[in-house]
Amino acid sequence: MSVPAAGTVIDDKYELLHEIGRGGMGVVWKAHVRMLEVPCAIKFILPHYAADPAIRVRFLREAKAAAKLRGPHTVSILDVGEWEGYPFIVMEMLEGESLERRLSGGRPLSPQLTAGIIMQVAVGLSKVHAAGMVHRDLKPENIHIVDDSPLQVKILDFGIVKQIDSTSKHRTAAGAVMGTPYYMSPEQAHGQSVDFRADLWSLAMVAYQCLTGRLPFDSESLADLFVNIVSGPIPSPRSVNPALSPAIEAWWLQTASRDPAGRPASALALAESLHRAVAGLHATEPMVMAGTFKPVSSEAPGPPSRGLERRKRSAFLYGVLATGAVVLGALALRAVVNGSDATEASASAAAPEAPVVSTTPAAAPTPAPTPSPAPAPIELSPPSASAPAPKAPVALPPATPPATIAPARTEPARESNSQKTPPRVNAPPAPVQRPTPASPPSYPRKPTSNDRLGI
């Protein structure tokens, strides 16, 4: 049985470049897809596990089942096969770093970043559990941070190696379980049958390490470690990191229940409750939907998104335009009112002054004397004693010319936004009292012959 080495071509498709990782159960190589000229990752089982035919069969069967899991938070499996007795899995090559490397310095992550990582892992676990699978080996080494802006996290392995370990006679061999027991559930440490709730315990242990920078259960020996997991006191995250809120402490104590029935109902429920604890929300308050949560790290807040800035600028411009429209409308209304008043003033100034009506009747002008036609010759008879006396002239009162009254001018009514103004009528100006000129003296008229004849 040959051992994989650099330069080896697997199945005439994949050329091995260099080793990128090694664990207790397998080794991972960076390879090159010859036909497509793209990178990939290939994982082989170590020789002493590959020698067991039952392990090889189960490895290939569950690798094919994991290949059906497609999602943004699960690594894509491209191919499975066997090369010279070594079962292998071909996976997409991921950039970034593992969560184990991110936590290697012992510095805790911010609660916001922790909630974001746990949320995306929970979305990937939900697809695994919906397919009837249990990861069984969830740990920081199998959680890969592809990118931070925006945050993108993927799950590796899908518990395939751990399932092989649970059926192998090498279960207690050196290196077979080391590295995983720190995140084992109590029922898994007891060797009992497990379901998806074992993954929830492991996910809670990962969250504890992210929040505190330390392992929740640690010991110098494997036996003591199992005793602490099964019956030891549940550690308090606030005792390690006092900056954590009591809500996060309460979330941890509920999730780290040794009784599987006391844990959250699903991976998404676990992640959503952590998000509420970090954000300080109550159970009835709305929350970001699972899979769309974008954490904001308190360590180095980034610049606001362009979409938010565009919306802010648009709202500001709309506000300025609306204010300008209101101001222009007010100015236009004011101009209309002032123009109407100016029109009234000019019309009043241009109108002719109404004639003055005098209260004292003016004396009639004296008519000019008109020459009387020469009377026809009359035959005179001697005067009689009974002849009537000549009549005195009757003075008629002078005719008074009728007063001229200017017609009233009615102005059209103007309407405002609130009420209508009644029409305004311009009354004629008051009459001016002017002194009446004295009438010329009247002299008695000299009687004529017609008067004497009674005509």
Element holding 200 (H helix, E strand): helix 196-212
**Same-domain status, 3 and 110:** no
**Total domains, the chain:** 2
pLDDT per residue as tens digits for the range 71-125: 899 988 999 888 888 889 999 999 899 999 999 888 999 999 999 999 999 999 9
Is residue 194 a part of any domain in this protein? yes
**Helix (H/G/I), strand (E/B), else coil: 33:** strand
CA distance 264 to 254: 8
Q: How much is the pLDDT for 392?
A: 53
**Same-domain status, 25 and 150:** no
Is residue 426 a part of any domain in this protein? no
Active-site annotation holds for 137: yes
Token pair listed for 259: 């009784």
**Same-domain status, 59 and 203:** no
Distances (CA, A) of 2 to 251, 275, 324: 50, 49, 81
Single residue among 29, 62, 93 that ends a domain in this structure: 93
CA distance 198 to 162: 13
Burial of 222 (0-12, 13-18, 19+ CB in 10 A): middle
Token pair listed for 143: 């959680």
Tell me the average pLDDT across 401-418.
49
Contacts of 146 (CB under 8 A, 6+ apart): 94, 95, 96, 152, 153, 154
Q: How much is the pLDDT for 178?
A: 38
Local structure of residue 141 (DSSP, 8 states): G
pLDDT surpassing 70 at residue 323: yes
Of 146, 257, 132, 150, the closest CA to residue 200 belongs to 257
Is residue 236 a part of any domain in this protein? yes
Is residue 52 a part of any domain in this protein? yes
Most confidently modeled of 11-15, 170-174, 324-328, 353-357? 11-15
pLDDT surpassing 90 at residue 422: no
Return the percent helix, strand and coil in the chain, to nearest 5. Answer: 35, 15, 50
**Same-domain status, 181 and 285:** yes
pLDDT per residue as tens digits for the range 236-270: 999 999 999 999 999 999 999 999 999 999 999 99
| Strand duo 14-22 + 26-33: pairing | antiparallel
Is residue 382 a part of any domain in this protein? no
Q: How much is the pLDDT for 159?
A: 61
Q: What's the CATH code of the domain at 106? A: 1.10.510.10
**Same-domain status, 246 and 99:** yes
Is residue 212 a part of any domain in this protein? yes
355 or 444: whose pLDDT is higher? 444
Element holding 127 (H helix, E strand): helix 111-130
Is residue 452 a part of any domain in this protein? no
**Same-domain status, 200 and 238:** yes
* Marked catalytic residue, from 79, 137, 195, 224: 137
**Same-domain status, 203 and 104:** yes
Q: Is the pTM of this model over 0.95?
A: no
Largest CA distance in the chain: 191
**Same-domain status, 142 and 6:** no
pLDDT surpassing 70 at residue 272: yes
Give the range among 147-151, 205-209, 442-446 with minimum mean pLDDT.
442-446
Is residue 266 a part of any domain in this protein? yes
Q: What's the CATH code of the domain at 22? A: 3.30.200.20
pLDDT surpassing 80 at residue 170: no
117: containing domain: 94-300
**Same-domain status, 188 and 280:** yes
pLDDT surpassing 80 at residue 274: yes
Single residue among 285, 300, 315 that ends a domain in this structure: 300
The DSSP string of 36-80 is TTEEEEEEEE-HHHHT-HHHHHHHHHHHHHHHT--STTBPPEEEE
Q: What are phi and psi of 61, to 5 degrees?
A: -65, -45
**Same-domain status, 24 and 161:** no
pLDDT per residue as tens digits for the range 174-197: 333 434 789 999 998 888 888 999
**Same-domain status, 159 and 14:** no
Single residue among 247, 277, 300 that ends a domain in this structure: 300
Tell me the average pLDDT across 57-69.
80
**Same-domain status, 79 and 143:** no
